[in-house]
Amino acid sequence: MQIKTLTVVGVGLLGGSVALAARRRNAAAQIIGVDPCPGVLDRARARGLVDEATPHLSEGVRQADLVIFCTPVDRIAGQVLAAALSCRPGTLLTDVGSTKAAIVREVRAELPGHITFIGGHPLAGSEKNGPENASPDLFKDRLVVLTPTHDAPSALLQRLSDFWQRLGARVRLMSPEEHDEALALTSHLPHLLASALAGLLPPELAELTATGFRDTTRLASGLPQLWEAIFLSNRDPLLQVMEQLESRLRLFCQALRNGDPRELHDLLLEGKVARDALNS
């Protein structure tokens, strides 16, 4: 079923891609963009991402059937609660934040009963940013995790699931906590490692990097302000997987110090088997 009015809050790379994908795939009849930055709204309009644009959240959500928050994770809960004051009863609110437990907890504590919020996270993105890098195929064949609480009306959950599938994505339901623990390992730790490794490179060694270093550190080009917020909002699970990594690095160190090819082989083979299984 097509959404009548879709409001996208935060028209950057993700928000712009949601708008563009929804338009190309007829998932929404009308698309309103909300962004505090006039330059971003101008660029979004110039690319035809939105039908209407406003810097005012209350104005942008008033007619919406579905509002999707594509803003940094430390802003989402506050914006959802602010928007709820201006929404019509029955409006469905969702987000694309990289962490879910803190957002869902904060929203749940204060959201009025006539408005529904269902947390979401499309496992798609880019180290690029801004509406000029938006892509209508960003979500194609990607997984979107939804984290409904048990009181979410099933008709609205179905509607949100349909929306994402119309954008080309697969949908999986998880609890917010289960999501955050998994993503600490599959997304936040890789980002942190890429950044830590890149941060060790002195400029004079740049010439001695090849595709290996570049691929391994690609994520380090992400915006620090987005990622510091993600790390902090998922602190405990992230610290936990950092400890797991540290243990594994210690095994490598030990095998190296002992000059033990057998142990190194076993460690490298486990990594290869896990990586080869991802098939790409």
State which of positions 98-157 bind its own copies (CB under 8 A): 123-125, 142-143, 145
Q: 117: part of which helix (H) or strand (E)?
A: strand 116-122
Q: How far is CA 272 from CA 194, 236, 279, in A?
A: 19, 28, 11
Of 45, 62, 159, 235, which lies in the binding site for its own copies, with binding defined by CB under 8 A? Answer: 235
Least distance from C-beta 69 to its own copies, angstroms?
A: 20
The reply on whether position 231 binds its own copies by CB under 8 A is yes
Least distance from C-beta 152 to its own copies, angstroms?
A: 21
The helix/strand count (H/E) of the chain reads as 12, 8
**Of residues 111 and 223, the one with the C-beta less far from its own copies:** 223
For residue 182, which phi and psi values (nearest 5 degrees)?
-65, -45
**Of residues 29 and 123, the one with the C-beta less far from its own copies:** 123
Contact 32, 50 (CB under 8 A): yes
Contact 31, 6 (CB under 8 A): yes
Least distance from C-beta 143 to its own copies, angstroms?
A: 6
Q: Which two tokens stand for residue 211?
A: 């595709």
The reply on whether position 88 binds its own copies by CB under 8 A is no
Residues 186-225 that bind its own copies (CB under 8 A): 186-187, 189-201, 203, 205-225
Task: Kindly report the number of other CB atoms within 10 A of residue 51's CB atom.
Answer: 16
As to burial, measured by CB atoms within 10 angstroms (0-12 exposed, 13-18 middle, 19+ buried), residue 34 is buried
Least distance from C-beta 16 to its own copies, angstroms?
A: 18
Contact 31, 50 (CB under 8 A): yes
- Tell me the number of residues near its own copies by CB under 8 A: 82
**Of residues 111 and 201, the one with the C-beta less far from its own copies:** 201
**Of residues 26 and 186, the one with the C-beta less far from its own copies:** 186
CA dihedral 234, 118, 92, 98 (to 10 degrees): 30
Stretch that binds its own copies, among 9-17, 47-55, 89-97, 262-270 (CB under 8 A): 262-270
The reply on whether position 40 binds its own copies by CB under 8 A is no
Directed axis angle between helix 176-183 and helix 235-257, to 10°? Answer: 30
Whose CA is closest to 184, among 221, 227, 144?
227
Residue 229 DSSP label: H
**Of residues 154 and 247, the one with the C-beta less far from its own copies:** 247
The reply on whether position 242 binds its own copies by CB under 8 A is yes
The reply on whether position 267 binds its own copies by CB under 8 A is yes
Distance CA 204, CA 185 (A): 32
Stretch that binds its own copies, among 10-18, 44-52, 84-92, 231-239 (CB under 8 A): 231-239
Least distance from C-beta 2 to its own copies, angstroms?
A: 28
Stretch that binds its own copies, among 3-11, 26-34, 150-158, 267-275 (CB under 8 A): 267-275
